[in-house]
Amino acid sequence: MRLLLVEDDDMIAETVLGAMRRAGYAIDWAEDGRAAELSLGNGVYDLVLLDLGLPKKDGIEVLNAYRKNGGDAPVIILTARDAVDERIRGLDAGADDYLIKPFDLDELAARVRALSRRRTGQKQPVYTHAELTLDPAAHEVTLNGAALPLVPREFALLQALIEQPTRVFTKAELEEKLYGWGEEVGSNTIEVHVHSLRRKIGAEQVVTVRGVGYRLKRCG
Ligand code: CA
C-alpha cells in the first residue's frame, strides 16, 4: 500500500507521516496543490489523504482534476471543524470519506484500513498461501494457524508478495512498496528485509529469481 499525503502544515504532515510509516505504509508527502497533481499523475497511489486549503491549487480543484483524469484511489479529505461547505464540496467532488482536524491518529489508521478493505472489493480480504495467511485489515499474519509477529516492513514485504503470488518483484518495485520518497533506502535494504522475513516464515517460502528479484514459493 502506497499513500499520498497532501498537506501544507508541516506539523500535521510530520505527525501523519510518522504514524502511517509505523503502521507499515509507504507514504509520500506533497506540500501544495501543484505538487499533489504531479504526484497523482504517476498513478502509483492506493489511497490519498487530502487537505483542502492548500497553496498554489485548492484541494477541491486537485480532487476534481484527479477524478476527471480517471484517478480512482480512495480519497480522505482533511478539513476544519467549521468548514461544512468545504466538506460537502469535497464529497461531491469524489472524496470517499473525511476527517475533521484535529483528528485522532488511530481513527485515521482505522479509516485507511476500512477504505483499503473496500478497495480490494473482497468481503474477506485475507490472503492465504501454503501455510501462511495474511489479513491486511487486522494487520495479522499466521503460520500454520499460529500468530506470527512481523515488524511493519516485513509485513509490507509479505503483503506485496502474497497479493500477487506468481509475480516476480524486482528490488526497485519492492522498495517502492515499502518506502516513501525521502526515506533512506540502503543498497541492500530489501535483501535485509527478505532475510529477516525468511527467518520467520521459512527460507524456502521466498524464492530468489536470479538477476530479477523475489517471489513466493509456488504452492500446490
Ligand atoms: Ca491547509
| Residue 140 CA to ligand 1 centre (angstroms) | 34
| Residue 75 CA to ligand 1 centre (angstroms) | 16
| Residue 91 CA to ligand 1 centre (angstroms) | 17
| Residue 176 CA to ligand 1 centre (angstroms) | 27
Contact 169, 154 (CB under 8 A): no
Q: Alpha carbon of 89 to those of 51, 107, 187: distances in Å?
A: 13, 22, 45
Contact 142, 132 (CB under 8 A): yes
pLDDT at 161: 95
| In the chain, domain spans | 2-121, 127-216
| Residue 46 CA to ligand 1 centre (angstroms) | 22
Q: How confident is the model at residue 181 (pLDDT cuts 50, 70, 90)?
A: confident
pLDDT at 114 exceeding the cut of 70 = yes
Rounded CA gap, 41 and 44, in Å?
A: 8
CATH of span 2-121:
3.40.50.2300
**In this structure, what C-alpha cell is assigned to residue 28?**
509520500
Rounded CA gap, 141 and 51, in Å?
A: 33
Q: How confident is the model at residue 187 (pLDDT cuts 50, 70, 90)?
A: confident
Average pLDDT value for residue range 170-194: 88
| Residue 121 CA to ligand 1 centre (angstroms) | 32
pLDDT at 120: 63
| Residue 37 CA to ligand 1 centre (angstroms) | 16
Nearest one of 139, 149, 163, 160 to 196, comparing CA atoms = 149
| Residue 44 CA to ligand 1 centre (angstroms) | 23
> 126: which residues sit within 8 A by CB, 6+ positions away?
133, 134, 135
Q: Which fold does the domain 127-216 belong to in CATH?
A: Arc Repressor Mutant, subunit A (1.10.10)
Q: Find the helix or strand (DSSP H, E) in which 26 lies.
A: strand 26-30
> Could you identify the residue written with the cell 492548500?
54
pLDDT at 123 exceeding the cut of 60 = no
Contact 214, 177 (CB under 8 A): no
Give residue-wise pLDDT tens across range 139-160. 889 999 999 999 989 999 999 9
Q: How confident is the model at residue 220 (pLDDT cuts 50, 70, 90)?
A: low
| Residue 8 CA to ligand 1 centre (angstroms) | 5
Q: Alpha carbon of 62 to those of 3, 54, 152, 193, 199: distances in Å?
A: 16, 10, 31, 36, 44
Nearest one of 191, 150, 124, 169 to 24, comparing CA atoms = 150
Spell out where 45-129 has E strands: 47-51, 75-80, 97-101, 127-129
| Residue 53 CA to ligand 1 centre (angstroms) | 4
Nearest one of 187, 207, 183, 212 to 197, comparing CA atoms = 207
